[in-house]
Amino acid sequence: MSANLINLLIEATWQTLYMVAASAALGTIFGLPLGVFLATSQRGELLSRPWVNKVLGLVVNATRSVPFIILVVAIIPFTRMIAGTSIGTTAAIVPLTLAAVPFIARLIENAIREVDSGLIEAARAMGATPLQIIRKVLIPEALPSITLGLTLAVVSLIGYSAMVGAVGGEGLGDLGIRYGYQRFMPDVMAVVVIILIILVQLVQSIGEWIAGQVDKRAAKGRGQ
């Protein structure tokens, strides 16, 4: 493999990391509060807003049901409005974020719902407000599951970032298509796949380690 291709692989790897990191951060910023609201806003719950819950639930389900490659093409005008262009690494962050938000929201919702309801009732009995219960009970107790959920979301975004290369995005997916597929260079395709596998393994390992550390601290705090 030539030095030029090696440089292209390095650049494409950084582009992929940039896309995934930015979309994961933005997806968490919007998805975390949305997931918490979905988990606490059904009838009789802390933030009881059943109609709002139903509407948001429908929107989240509708967004999640659209295949990612179709979503990328369908929102090209919106992407161009936000990023100023519909191609390139920065433009790819827009559909990646839109795909991440509902996915992360559902993961957060499921993690929150796993918290023992007895803890919520105990906090209510002590006079805690709904926001205090969310901030001091629900999120800390669900943190290990939230961490694992976010890890799963980042892993999925790595796969999506490779797919977006087929429609004008940059990164490893674009490099694999342009050189590995279109120019019949299977060695480039193989290296791209190996790098993606390594990235996924690293993210998964780091996420599981963080979840373990958070869980240990939570268990220690409950023991005290």
Q: Domain segments of the chain: what residues? A: 3-117+124-223
77-104 pLDDT per residue, tens = 999 999 888 888 999 999 999 999 999 9
159-169 pLDDT per residue, tens = 999 888 877 77
Question: Which pTM was predicted?
Answer: 0.89
Greatest CA span in the chain, whole angstroms? 68
Distances (CA, A) of 208 to 20, 48, 85, 113: 18, 33, 37, 20
Question: What DSSP state is assigned to residue 179?
Answer: I
Q: Which residue has the tokens 């007895």?
A: 118
Q: Which residue has the tokens 């990235």?
A: 199
Residue 30 binned pLDDT confidence (cut-offs 50, 70, 90):
very high
Three-state secondary-structure class, residue 127: coil
Q: Which residues contact 49 (CB under 8 A, 6 or more apart)?
A: 37, 41
pLDDT at 222: 52
Burial 86-110 (b: 16+ CB within 10 A, else e): bbebbbbbbbbbbbbbbbbbbbbbb
Cβ burial, residue 151 (10 Å; 0-12/13-18/19+) = buried
Residue 223 has pLDDT above 60, yes or no: no
Residue 17 binned pLDDT confidence (cut-offs 50, 70, 90):
very high
pLDDT at 224: 47
Q: Please indicate whether residue 73 or residue 222 has the higher confidence score (pLDDT).
A: 73
The full 3-state SS of 64-124, as one line of letters, equals HHCCHHHHHHHCHHHHHHHHCCCCCHHHHHHHHHHHHHHHHHHHHHHHHHCCCHHHHHHHH
121-170 pLDDT per residue, tens = 898 889 888 899 999 999 999 999 999 999 999 999 999 998 888 777 78
The CATH superfamily holding the domain 3-117+124-223 is: MetI-like (1.10.3720.10)
Q: Which residues contact 76 (CB under 8 A, 6 or more apart)?
A: 86
